[in-house]
Chains A and B, each alone.
Chain A
Amino acid sequence: MKNNKNKNLILKGIAASSGIVIGRVFLLKNYDIAPIDNIRIPLSERSREVRRFHEAVVDTKLEMNETREKINKALGESYAKIADVHLFMLEDPIMIKDVTDKINKGISAEYAVYDFTRGIALSLEAEKDGYFKERAADIKEVSKRIIHNLISKKGKTISLEDVGKNSVVVAHNLTPADTVSMKEKFVLGFATDIGGKTSHTAIVANGLGIPAVVGLANISQSAETGDEIIIDGNKGLVILNPEKEILEKYKKEIKDFTVVKKELEKLKDLPASTIDGYSVEVFGNIENPNEAASVLSMGAAGIGLYRTEFIYFNRADLPDESDHFDACVKVVENMNGFPTVIRTADLGGDKLADLGLLKLEREKNPFMGLRAIRLCLKYPDLFIKQLRGILRASAKGKINLLYPMISNVDELREADKILQGVKEDLRKEKIPFDENIKRGIMIEVPCAAMISDILAKEVDFFSIGTNDLIQYSMAADRVNENVARLYDPLHPAILRFIKMIIDSGHNAGIKVAMCGEMAGDPFYTPILLGLGLDEFSVSLSQIPKIKKIVRSVKIEDMKEFARQILQCGDRDKIEEIVESINLSEDKTDV
């Protein structure tokens, strides 16, 4: 019946990764949003159901105690004691009594826990005082963990480990924890309720080179596992249980697309040089060591950004030095001597809190909070473990270090001081590493762009992180649809920032790379060339597309375009100029 209702259901979302696929829905349910089924428990099974609940509480308590110990070990007792609050909630006598009463009335343990905790969370959310309002999150966390243990005992939890062949993953949202265990070969595409062009789902899809449509509002409610589904990552469309005509139309489009793709693949071994002989580097971005194997075969001459955050996900403790070392070695060994830029942890306090490793008071504004280098400098042990792993790996292949989110000279020097300490320790321990390892900084905070001339004198390279640079400069959250329009790479201020950063780097004799989404969008390639960018670091699927543009233009023309654009204060006029370049470039043969 449900399938009938959703026959040929066309949903419009945000195109987050290009390409078209036809596959079968694999629905990943997310228990914090999908209500648990309220199944009636017969009288004879109620005492067993009560026992299940008590067992789940015990299991959860064991887990929480383990987590508490890990926090204690990693960050110290003062952080661990905050975890006590969750333990007290877990043992709350009123909750135990209320849930038991509900089960004895025939309500399932899962639903009873969900129902009780929802009531409490709703009351808290109605509070005016922000502090108490936010405790609702703690209640939900405890509830989620009990329910998870109830369900996993029944053997019912579904993860992306379970995907079958030709699956299109449909979910409310995909988190790093979800995608880490995913069987990549089986997954054709993603469709999610929430997210934007730079959300985790989009980044993973681009990395894998599979289509994704996000921001579909409620596809996870409409789709069911096994439904036929088309993902059009070019137009941002998803069609559930498509009609025959639509299906045929898309099958033809997929065929045509394959032809274009083959053409791009021919560019693989050709250099990224303009018609008049000016060369730039096109490097790949990766976030999982497994992706390193495809970098060279996609035609990149190096890795411009290895995001190391994944090593922190899908595990119950913090990675130690050997975990970092193993991951980095895996990457550099695949690179055959080509360079790899490794960015040190760009974690938010929230990510550690989600891991249960750090019970920070929830930050009101995490993007302006304890993140990246700020977090690493506050918890130097985290940083030292990673630096040791990276430095040891630098004896096995060419590595450049990259610090994220530097906003002043002091942070850079403080990070360098820790780096020096790590180097000295390694020397004393007679552990080999690259003594001349280069280190650069991400320029992604406007204040760093403004002092890029000063910063350039103290580092070996820059990498412009446009995603954050734009969001911080425009004071607009790129995922918030109400203000996403303001998130605009062509705003004259952004173009001036980029120009300023590149010029500062060149004046100090260092190279300037860009690793944000802007670098990987062929639309912006001409203007970035004209502004003097040395290195484009892009998701693997974009490498041939960027090369194609570079190889079809003249650098002198691009410089002239850039000059005109920089003089132009009108955003629409700028877009017009950029479009006119792209039009003329289309006529040129590769």
Chain B
Amino acid sequence: MIEKKITIKSIKGLHARPCALLVKMLSKSKSDVKILKDDMEVDAKSIMSILILAAGRGTELNFVINGQDEQNVSRELEEFFNSDFEEMNAEEINTNEK
């Protein structure tokens, strides 16, 4: 199990499109990924649940990754949140994976 604290840096926060990209990325992994924020815990593969977190700029999220590819997922998350996801789109994620 890996715990990973991430602070949202992008101006608009974790809005719908990046949420979709995040879900797309995570749904490929075999690990169970949860996001903890305050007293909430949601499934990170569920776009609706992530939206409910309303993670605006500066929000601190605690990712809990549990599974065989957890190391990999942790690295991907790190890269994802360091990237400028405002500008990213689904194809880029696709090519990155290929």
Contact = CB atoms under 8 A, between A and B. Distances in A.
Nearest to B45: A93
Interface stretch (A44-52, A80-88, A194-202, A498-506): A80-88
A48 to B, nearest CB: 26
B17 A81 contact: yes
A422 to B, nearest CB: 32
Interface in A274-323: none
A132 B49 contact: no
A123 B52 contact: yes
Contacts of B12: 131
B7 interface: no
A94 B46 contact: yes
B56 A85 contact: no
Contact of B17 (A82, A92, A120): A82
Contact of A89 (B43, B48, B54): B48
B52 A92 contact: no
Contact of B16 (A77, A129, A138): A138
Interface in B37-64: 42-43, 45-49, 51-52, 54, 56
A88 B47 CA distance: 7
Contacts of A124: 51-52, 54
Please classify the interface of chain A as helix (H, G, I), strand (E, B), loop, or mixed, using the class held by over half of its residues: helix
B93 to A, nearest CB: 10
B2 interface: no
Nearest to B56: A129
A360 interface: no
A94 B17 contact: no
A123 B52 CA distance: 7
Contacts of B47: 85, 88-89, 92
Interface string A127-140: 10101100100110
Contacts of B91: 81
Interface of A: 77-78, 81-82, 84-85, 88-89, 92-95, 120, 123-124, 127, 129, 131-132, 135, 138-139
Given A78-B89, A84-B17, A84-B20, 16 more contacts: A81-B90, A81-B91, A84-B90, A85-B16, A88-B23, A88-B47, A89-B48, A92-B46, A93-B43, A94-B43, A95-B46, A124-B51, A131-B12, A132-B51, A132-B56, A138-B16
